[in-house]
Amino acid sequence: MNGGFSMTIYETIKAAISVKQAAEHYGLKVSHNGMACCPFHNDRHPSLKLNEDYFFCFGCGAKGDVIDLVARLFNLSSYEAAQKLALDFGLDPKPPTAAAMVKPKRPYIRQFREDEMLCFRVLTDYLHLLEDWKVRYAPKTPEDALDDRFVEACQMHCHIEYMADVLTVGDLEERVALVDKLMQDGKIAFLQEYTAQKKKKVAHHGEEPENA
């Protein structure tokens, strides 16, 4: 579920750097079949599966995408991990547009704050749903077919967390640019409705989300 979000530094990094590339760059030895010893627990036999888009450990359950991997390796936030990857791999994130560099004028400050609060609430609501899916629908063995919700959680979790981080710790220009993107063309309204529908579907089947 991509929701039509505009390209961000997160998406730029994910498109340019595979999980395997990052793992090898930071010292993990990856076999030809994409397995490695997990750095997140005392792993004697390779139990960490590295795909192009995400990783999953069948030993400790660690999972996520390339930014999740780096965040865990270096104990960073998603925002910091994205910046580290961009620096270490020589990526040059697009600078803010001229419009994004303009501070909101006083008559629009209240509206901006309301929009920002809405965006943060919707993003964190979806983030909680993804966190539930990453646990609830994770494969139990390497042979298990991947549930679409688990795949979506692996693909989207760090992206959503990154945007929530921007709204929490980003500077004003970054926050203005992100809120503007999310509010355009009903993107945040679409995500709000999408999340609500998924939660209703789970509740209908008697499985309350763990983070609801």
Residue 1 resides in a domain: no
Q: What count of other Cβ atoms lies within 10 Å of the Cβ of residue 167?
A: 18
pLDDT at residue 108, rounded to an integer:
61
pLDDT at residue 126, rounded to an integer:
96
pTM score above 0.85 = no
Residue 199 resides in a domain: yes
Per-residue pLDDT of the chain (212 residues; tens, 9 = 90+): 444 333 467 778 888 899 999 999 888 899 888 899 999 988 888 889 998 888 999 889 888 899 999 999 988 888 888 888 988 888 765 544 444 444 444 446 778 888 999 999 999 999 999 999 999 999 988 888 889 999 999 989 988 999 999 998 888 888 888 998 899 878 999 999 999 999 887 666 555 444 44
pLDDT at residue 11, rounded to an integer:
78
Name residues whose C-beta falls within 8 Å of residue 193's C-beta, 6 or more positions apart in sequence.
Answer: none
pLDDT at residue 2, rounded to an integer:
43
Residue 167: give its domain's CATH number: 3.90.580.10
Residue 23 resides in a domain: yes
Domain count, the chain: 1
Q: Does an H or E element contain 177, and which?
A: helix 172-183
Residue 113 resides in a domain: yes
CA dist 35 → 21, 50, 156 (Å): 13, 6, 23
Read off the tokens for 167. 């709204």
Question: Among all chains, which residue has been given the structure tokens 């929530």?
Answer: 164
Q: Are strands 35-36 and 63-64 parallel, antiparallel or unpaired?
A: unpaired
Name the phi and psi angles at 64, rounded to 5. 150, -165
pLDDT at residue 204, rounded to an integer:
60
pLDDT at residue 207, rounded to an integer:
56
Residue 116 resides in a domain: yes
CA distance 173 to 48: 38
Residue-number span of the structural domain to which 35 is assigned: 9-204
Name residues whose C-beta falls within 8 Å of residue 79's C-beta, 6 or more positions apart in sequence.
Answer: 162, 165, 166, 169, 170
